[in-house]
Amino acid sequence: MQMLYNSDNFAVVEFEVPAMTPASEGDDAGLTRGGYEIVDKFKRKEIYIEGALAESFKQGVEALIEGSPTIEDIDAYIERFSSLMLQPVVLH
């Protein structure tokens, strides 16, 4: 688990889950899997994305970073995922 981004509006945490079986040559079994947890601090909602959506999110962030974005630019990109956030943030 690694905190990737934390602003007044959003937090993004990356989760990498190692594969359960060791990789053999030419086998995908050793690939890691995981995803991103995105939290909207004002709406108090969150989402966990993985797979193709997580890869799309990652590529979008990488493209954004190439242009030296401001915090507002990054927040605007992350806000595009807000409509998917249905899980309320619960502290325990």
Cα gap 30→21, rounded to integer Å:
6
Predicted model pTM: 0.79
pLDDT score at 1: 86
The alpha carbon of residue 83 and the mean position of all alpha carbons in its chain are separated, in whole angstroms, by: 15
pLDDT score at 34: 86
pLDDT digits (tens, 9 = 90+) for 9-66: 999 999 987 766 655 555 555 455 789 999 999 999 999 999 999 999 999 999 999 9
DSSP 26-73: T-GGG--EEEEEEEETTTTEEEEEEHHHHHHHHHHHHHHHTT---HHH
pLDDT score at 56: 93
Would you list the domain boundaries of the chain? Answer: 2-19+30-88
Cα gap 45→84, rounded to integer Å:
9
pLDDT digits (tens, 9 = 90+) for 67-88: 999 999 999 999 999 999 988 8
pLDDT score at 63: 94
